[in-house]
Amino acid sequence: MSDFILPDIGEGIVECELVKWLVSEGDLIEEDQPVAEVMTDKALVEIPAPYKGRVTRLYHREGDIAKVHAPLFELVGEDDSGDSTAQATSDAKEPQPSGEQPPTPAPKTVSAPDQGDDATEDFILPDIGEGIVECEVVEWRVAEGDEIEEDQPVVDVMTDKAMVEITAPKAGRVTKLYHQQQEMAQVHSPLFAFIPRERDEPVESKAKPSQAPAQDAAPAAAQPAAAKNRQRIPASPAVRRLVREHSLNLADINGSGKDGRVLKADVLAHLEKPAAQPSSQATSAEAKPTQASDGRRRAAGEQEVRVEPIKGMKAAMARKMVTSASTIPHFIYSEDIDVTDLLALREKLKVEAEARGSRLTLMPFFMKSMALAVQDFPVLNSRVNDDCTEIHYLSQCNIGMAVDGKSGLIVPNVKSVESLTLLGVADEVARLTEAARSGRVSQEDLKGGTISISNIGALGGTYASPIINAPEVAIVALGRTQKLPRFDANGQVVERAILTVSWAGDHRIIDGGTIARFCNRWKSYLESPQSMLLHMG
C-alpha cells in the first residue's frame, strides 16, 4: 500500500485544481489507466495509475486544490500481502467525522523545526519537465528580507525550452537567495530560503513588549481575526494568475463558486465594476479651470500604458523565433498551385470519409504529397548539426502544422506520414487540432517534427515569409485559395482555384534549385492528385 504523490507537471507548477475523478474508492485499476484530471494554468492534464491495484482512498474532492509532491490517492498493489489489504480495508471503513475529509499526510519540507522561531524552509527547485536538470536564474523579483505572499512571483528562470516564473509556495519572509542572477541553479537543490508567516509572527509579537495590561486583550482578540483573514480563498491557479496580472486582491472579489470559490467570471465581473469617485473629489475637480482639467486628461492619457509580461508559451516562441531568424539564413521561394482538380477529388471522397468517421480536409493531401516528394529530395527532411559540419537525413517524415492553440502558437506533428493512409493522416490532423485548441497536446506530439506547414491562408493573405521551426530546415506557408482567370489548352479563359505557397529553406544546405525542384514535384502531385497513386507504398 502506498500513496500516489502528485508529480511535477512542469514549468514551475506548484498546485493544480482537481477537476474530475475517473475512479472511485474501492475500484480496481490497471497500470496507466486514467485516474484523475487536474487543471493547471497551462492545460488539462490526465494523471494515470503507476501500477495495477485497488484504490483505497481519494485525498481530495473534485474542485479542491492539490499540491505538487503531496499525496493524491492511496493505492494497494495487486502483489501486496493479504494483511496489508485487510488493514487498508479496515482503515477505509473507519468512521470519519461528518463533513471532514480523510487526513492527508503532510508533504516533506526542508526545514529546521527545532531551532526556535527563526526556523526557515528551503524552496527546492522542482522538476520543470522534459529532462531539464538545470536552469539560469534570470531575474529575482524579491530581495532578502522582503515579505512575500502565496503565489507571488519570486524569480524568473530560463531553461533551454522556455522562461519559467517560480512563485512562492506560501506567505512569509525571504531570508536567503542562494544564487545570483545569471548563475545556474540545479533541479532538486535549494533556490531560496524563507520563514513562513505562521512561524515568523511569534518573533514579531515577542519583539514588541506590552506597554499596558489593558492593551494585551486587544492583540489577543485581533490574532484570530488576522488568522481568519489569511485563510486560503479557493481559486484555480489560472484564476490566481489573472488576479496577479491585474494587481487585484483575491479577498476583494466575491466568489460565486462552491464554498466561495472565485471563478474567472467573478474576476472579470470585478474588473468591469466602475471605480467609485468620492463626491468631494468630484466637486473640487469640477471647480477647477477647464485648461487644468484638459492638461490632467492629457497627462492621464499619456500614462495609460498597459504592460503585459511575455511568459509561458509566448516567451518560448519568442525566444525560439529570434534564435531561428538570427542563426539560419532563410531562402524564400513562392509558387502558385492550381488546386481545382484537388478540390473536386476531395468533394468526391468527403462523403465516404465521413461515413467512416473521418473529416477529410485539404491538409491530409498536402501532407501525403509532401511525404512523397521528400523521398526524391531527402535534404528537405533532414537536420544540420550545431557547427554545420554534418547533415542528418531522417527516415521518418513527421510533418508539423502550426495551430493557434489555447495557450499560444504550437506546432504538433503527424508522425510517419509516409506510412499512413490518407484517412490515417486525416484522423491524426483532426486529433491534434482538437488537442491544441483545448490545451491537451502531449509533449510527444510536439517533439520530433521534421518539416512544417503553416496554413495562414485560413485567416487571410496570399504570400508570407515563414520562419523555420528549428532544428528543421524547411517550412511552407499556405496562402488563401483564390478563383482566378487562367488560359486552358485551347487558349480560352477559364476560372481556376489557385493556391499561393511560400517556402522558407535553410540556405546553408538547401539551394534555390533544390527547393524549386522539390516544390515542382510537390506541385505536380497536388495539381494531378491521382498521380500520387503511382508512388504510394
C-alpha distance across the termini of the chain, in Å = 51
Residue 39, pLDDT score: 79
Lowest model confidence (mean pLDDT) among 311-325, 437-451, 520-534: 311-325
Distance in angstroms (rounded) separating the CA atoms of residues 401 and 367: 9
Per-residue exposure over 228-245, b if at least 16 CB sit within 10 Å of its own CB, e if not = eeeeebbbbbbbbbbbbe
Other Cβ atoms closer than 10 A to 118: 11
Confidence of residue 322 (pLDDT cuts 50, 70, 90): very high
Q: Is the pLDDT of residue 231 over 80?
A: no
Over the stretch 476-491, which tens digit does the pLDDT of each residue have?
999 999 999 999 999 9
Q: Is the pLDDT of residue 205 over 50?
A: no
Q: Is the pLDDT of residue 492 over 70?
A: yes
Residue 134 has which C-alpha cell?
A: 538545470
Whether omega for the bond prior to residue 471 falls within 30 degrees of 0, making it cis, is yes
pTM of whole model > 0.75?
no
Over the stretch 209-229, which tens digit does the pLDDT of each residue have?
444 444 444 443 434 433 334
Q: Is the pLDDT of residue 365 over 60?
A: yes
Lowest model confidence (mean pLDDT) among 338-342, 390-394, 502-506, 530-534: 530-534
H or E element: which one contains 300? helix 290-303
Q: Is the pLDDT of residue 279 over 80?
A: no
Distance in angstroms (rounded) separating the CA atoms of residues 250 and 486: 63
Residue 32 has which C-alpha cell?
A: 496507466
| Residue 301, SS3 per DSSP | helix
Note the Cα 116 to chain centre separation in Å: 41
CB under 8 Å to 428, separation ≥6 — which residues?
A: 414, 415, 420
Distance in angstroms (rounded) separating the CA atoms of residues 124 and 146: 19
Distance in angstroms (rounded) separating the CA atoms of residues 222 and 205: 12
Residue 299, pLDDT score: 57
Residue 347, pLDDT score: 94
Residue 424, pLDDT score: 95
Confidence of residue 158 (pLDDT cuts 50, 70, 90): confident
Would you please indicate which residues are annotated as catalytic (active-site) residues? 507, 511
Over the stretch 302-312, which tens digit does the pLDDT of each residue have?
678 888 887 76
Distance in angstroms (rounded) separating the CA atoms of residues 389 and 395: 20
Residue 409, pLDDT score: 79
Distance in angstroms (rounded) separating the CA atoms of residues 463 and 460: 10
Residue 362 has which C-alpha cell?
A: 485539404
Note the Cα 53 to chain centre separation in Å: 31
Closest to 162 measured CA to CA, from 43, 315, 325: 315
Amino acid at 256: S
Pairing of strands 451-454, 474-487: parallel
Residue 168, pLDDT score: 87
State percent of the chain over pLDDT 70: 75
| Residue 87, SS3 per DSSP | helix
Closest to 329 measured CA to CA, from 278, 384, 391: 384
Query: How large is the average pLDDT for residues 277-301?
Result: 51
More confident residue, 110 or 411: 411
Question: What's the half-sphere exposure (Cβ side, CA atoms, 13 Å) at 22?
Answer: 14
Could you tell me the domains of the chain?
Answer: 2-93 (2.40.50.100), 110-201 (2.40.50.100), 329-534 (3.30.559.10)
State phi, psi for 129 to the nearest 5 degrees: 100, 165
Residue 77 has which C-alpha cell?
A: 498493489
Confidence of residue 392 (pLDDT cuts 50, 70, 90): very high
Q: Is the pLDDT of residue 128 over 80?
A: no
CA angle 227, 231, 232 (to 5 degrees): 155
Residue 232, pLDDT score: 62
Query: How large is the average pLDDT for residues 397-413?
Result: 85
Tell me 262's DSSP state: B
Distance in angstroms (rounded) separating the CA atoms of residues 453 and 401: 5
Query: How large is the average pLDDT for residues 76-89?
Result: 51
| Residue 151, SS3 per DSSP | coil
Residue 429, pLDDT score: 95
For residue 114, CA distances in Å to 120, 123, 235, 354, 368 come to 10, 18, 33, 68, 66
Query: How large is the average pLDDT for residues 429-440?
Result: 86
